[in-house]
Structure 1
Amino acid sequence: MLAPVASAQEGTQSLRDQRTKRLAQLGKGDVKKDEKEKKPALYPNATRISPTPAPSPKMLKLLLAVQDAYEKQEMQTVITEANALGANPDAGAYEKSAAYSLAANASIDLGDEAKAAEYFRKAVDTNGLDNDSHFNTLFNLAVIQYQLEKYQDALATVDTFLAQSKSEKSEHLGFRAGLLANLDRNEEAAAVYKAMMAKNPDDKRILMNAVATLQGAGKFDESNVLLEDAYKRGMLTDGKELRALYVGYMNAERWSDAKAVIDAGTANGTIEPSVLLAKDYMVLAQNAYAEDNPALAIELYAKAGPIAADGEAYLNLAKILEITGKKAASKVAAQKALDKGLKKPQDAKRLLSL
């Protein structure tokens, strides 16, 4: 239903930062520069105590060889050397975790996401990385599990990630909400999105995800409230968003409100003519006629006719015009219905013969 959006690969800059740090550990990098450029922690509220790696120069050289192979795009070499380092009894948790993380990224580049998940899991379980790298790796594992359609596993992983990292970033919370939606746990997903909206009231993506999950949970009145508020604040700026609002009104039998949104959207060009719009006009027209408002039904069928896929809207228009005594106009509409195509052309022909 809703696809969580996240990237499983670390950026090139992140890998360069790690390489710089490892060179500094070997005494070959610019230690002062490394300290000067030290960045704030990505997960300052994490409950995990970040380990202090103490790799031997020999093992660190082997790890740098794995990273060099990755930067040269020699992915199979990365995996082979990472496995060797992981099996080396002299390697510590840090070198093993870092090597497994590189092997995971190499596996992604080779199109083997199942293997990537295995290596990300090994990197996490070995527990040798600093907090930033550890939690990035853990989140990457959740992303890969999602891509493998292992939604329950991905949810368990991201729950662990959130519990330990204490991250409140939208991309992490939104990823969890999307997983809940994919598991048909829409009410829980909606609660996450609504909490996110409280902190990010102008984020339209969060809004539309909240609406979708509320609708998935059958809470149409609540989704309408969110959309109506967004509409009043000018947040709904394309046809699909406006349609979500006016269809919500139609489901709630707020027919005049639905028509007002359509009229405003078509007037300013946000809602463009389409077969789908024709069908929506026809639903409004049918209701108008059922509520004994033939004039409104005529107006709506007349709008639907030119953009409909067939002549059914024109045929219904012709019938109402004939019933209301407008025979000449009825015949014009009946002919247009025939021209566009009908399942039962005899109905239009009968009107033309009157």
Structure 2
Amino acid sequence: MALHAPQSRKSHPRTPAARRFTHPGLRAGARRRPATGLRVNRPTIRHWPLATPNDLSASVSAPRAPRPTTSRSHSRLPPMNASPKLRPLALALCTIVAVAAVAPAFAQQQAGSTSMREAREKRQKELGKQKDSDKGKAADAALWPNATRQEPAEEAKGKNLKTLQEIQGLYEKQDYAGAMAKAEAFAATSGLNSYEKSFAYQLAGASASELQDDAKSADYFKKAVDANGLDNNNHYTAMYNLVVTYYSTGKNEEALALLDKFLAETKSDKPEYQQLRAQLLANTGRGGEAAKTFEAQLAKNPNDKKALLNAVSAYQASGDDAKATKLLEDGYNKGMLTEAKELQVLYANYLNAERFKDAQKVIEDGAAKGILKEGPDLATAYSLLGQNAYYNGSDADALNFYGKAAPMAKDGEAYLNQAKILRAQGKTADAKAAAQKALDKGLKKPEEAKEILAD
């Protein structure tokens, strides 16, 4: 008599929380215009503790000497305070794997393909409670029809069947501790066939999972798989749930090895399995392979934003920033980047590549659409554009960008840089007004503003 575990009440395993991203404020320090410019560091990657290293990150750092793009004389120009500095900006990736419930179950396995009535009929049939006239109505669809494993023919019989029914009853009543204890004791008895032992451990694993005991859950699911007595649907569900448990507890090497075995035996090409494999590859330092897998998923579904962001992150993790930026750029042009953190990563990557016009377009478009909100983050971006414009000889653009940055900045440095440019242009009254605003907002070194006011 075949048995199946009851439906789990959990839709997915616990997944690690996404990291938050933070920005610092502006940094000031006297630098002379001829010796300074924008300097951008290659993005750095931070890792999720349990999932993937796919934190998409970008940074914009202290200035460096500009290229000679203008014949303008620098000797008569005022020194500018150093541009703001953006510390690493992390875009935490979405959870992209729709994993099976930790507790394998017929009803859950058939979700979306069978009615509740059919699922109940199937469970009744498996427990030997269905009427003869109803038998055979709910055929057990193969979840992995291409699996190479030969299904065992053993079943639960006699008093052992009754004991498993009792354990299953405890589980269905949500007495998980009782179900786990009784299943473990039953599995330890002698004379069980492989199916009876596997099913008992499967129930114990499902119960341990409901109790959030990952260590016991993994141990029981492994024993259920090793006993090798279940039909293919339950055997591979238990195996995949073991992969998920390893994954959620940071055992990435074990999860990857078992997932490869699962894929080799089931011959499944479902996207969710490939996505999980890519995450595990990234977690184990194989970012290049992970990126190719994510990008293959993106090629199949060009509008899959999760695949896009994961591919970007994996390319960054492998050091291929050009490909990461190209994917982000493609997503931006398709209108797929709709959150502030996504635009921030893109314009930071543009600044890293000294593509200032592209960065300006993303910043101004994001601000116009209300995606990039007024605040220190946006002020930092505008100040970086102001600095670049100044170093390339466009005072008008520099004043415009500093003017946008100043009201929303957390201190008065942008106002002070405005004042310096205006003073050099001979616009004394405007320069003094900007210097006063700088003092009012706060400066680390107020002496420069006071000097302008004293003119």
* TM-score, normalised by the number of residues in structure 2: 0.72
Q: Report the counterpart of residue 401 of structure 2 in structure 1.
A: 300
How far off its partner does 1:32 sit? 6.3
Q: Percent identity?
A: 47
In 2: Cα distance, 1:89 partner to 1:18 partner: 32
Residues 76/191 of structure 1: CA separation in 2 closer, same or farther (3 Å cut): same
- Among 212, 226, 241, the residue aligned to 1:111: 212
Q: Say whether 1:68 aligns with 2:169.
A: yes
Q: Any stretches of 5+ residues in structure 2 without a counterpart? A: 1-46, 52-94, 110-115
Greater mean alpha carbon deviation, residues 293-302 or residues 115-124? 293-302
Residue 244 of structure 2 corresponds to residue 143 of structure 1: yes
Partner of 2:136, secondary structure, is: helix
Q: CA deviation at 1:53?
A: 3.6
- Look up the equivalent residue of 1:249 and give its one-letter code: Y
Does residue 134 of structure 2 align to residue 41 of structure 1? no
Alignment of 1:193-232 (within 5 A): 193-232=294-333
The corresponding residue for 2:152 is: 51
Change (3 A) 1:351 1:75: same
Contact 2:298 2:307 in 1 (8 A): yes
Letter in 2 for 1:10: A
Amino acid at match of 1:56: K
Contact 2:101 2:108 in 1 (8 A): no
Residue 265 (str. 1) matches residue 358 (str. 2): no
Work out the CA distance in 2 between the residues paired with 1:287 and 1:20.
71
Do the aligned partners of residues 326 and 182 (structure 1) sit closer, same or farther apart at CA in structure 2, a change above 3 Å counting?
farther
SS in 2 for 1:115: helix
Contact 1:211/1:227 (<8 A) preserved: yes
Cα distance 1:190–1:31, how it changes in 2: closer, same or farther (>3 A)? Answer: farther
Q: Is the 8 A contact 2:214 2:249 kept in 1?
A: yes
**Which of these residues, 345, 350, 359, is aligned with residue 249 of structure 1?**
350
Q: Match of 2:102? A: 9
Q: 1:255 offset after TM fit, Å?
A: 0.6
Q: How does 1:306-345 map to 2 (within 5 A)?
A: 306-345=407-446
Letter in 2 for 1:314: Y
Matches of 1:53 and 1:229, distance apart in 2: 54
Tell me by how many angstroms 1:40 deviates.
3.5
Q: In structure 1, what is the Cα distance between the partners aligned to 2:235 and 2:264?
A: 14
Displacement of 1:299: 1.3
Question: Aligned in 2, Cα 1:202/1:36: closer, same or farther, shift over 3 Å?
Answer: farther
**In the alignment, what sits opposite 1:156?**
257
If asked which structure has higher relative contact order (CA below 8 Å, sep 6+), I would say 2
- Tell me how large the CA RMSD over aligned residues is: 2.3
Residues of 2 paired with 1:302 and 1:26: CA distance? 75
Alpha-carbon separation, structure 2, partners of 1:34 and 1:174: 39
Shift of 1:26: 5.0
Say if 1:261 and 1:62 are closer, same or farther in 2 by CA, change over 3 A.
same
In the alignment, which of 184, 192, 213 is matched to residue 285 of structure 2? 184
Matched, 1:92 2:186: no
- Residues 311 and 338 in structure 1, CA contact (< 8 A), matched pair in contact too: yes
Secondary structure of the corresponding residue to residue 165 of structure 2: helix
Distance of 1:338 and 1:220 partners within structure 2:
40
Q: 1:339 to 1:232 in 2, by over 3 A?
A: same
Q: Deviations over 1:249-297 (max 9, x none)?
A: 1111111011011111111212212312211222222222222222212
CA separation of 1:61/1:307 partners in 2, compared to 1, >3 Å: closer, same or farther?
A: same
Task: Give, in whole Å, the separation in 1 of the partners of 2:266 and 2:120.
Answer: 24
| Gaps in structure 1 of 5+ consecutive residues | none
Alignment partner, residue 267 of structure 2: 166
Aligned to 2:382: 281
C-alpha distance in 1 between matches for 2:177 and 2:103: 18
Tell whether the 8 Å contact from 1:69 to 1:77 is kept in structure 2 after alignment: yes
1:171 Cα offset (Å): 2.0
1:352 is displaced (CA, Å) by 1.6
Alignment: residue pair count: 354
Q: 1:116 to 1:20 in 2, by over 3 A?
A: farther
Q: Greater shift after overlay, 4-13 or 262-271? A: 4-13
For each residue in 1:284-335, what CA deviation from the matched residue of structure 2 results, as whole angstroms up to 9, or x when unmatched?
A: 2222222222221211111111111222222222222222333222222222
Which shifted more, 73-82 or 26-35?
A: 26-35
Q: Judge which range, 102-111 or 50-59, deviates more.
A: 50-59
Write the distance in 2 (CA, Å) between the matches of 1:304 and 1:218.
Answer: 32
Report the alpha carbon displacement of residue 58 of structure 1 after superposing the two structures with TM. 2.3
* d(CA) in 2 for partners of 1:327, 1:21: 87
Q: Distance in 1 between matches of 2:226 and 2:296?
A: 31
| Structure holding more helix per residue | 1
Q: 1:183 to 1:319 in 2, by over 3 A?
A: farther
TM-score (norm 1): 0.92
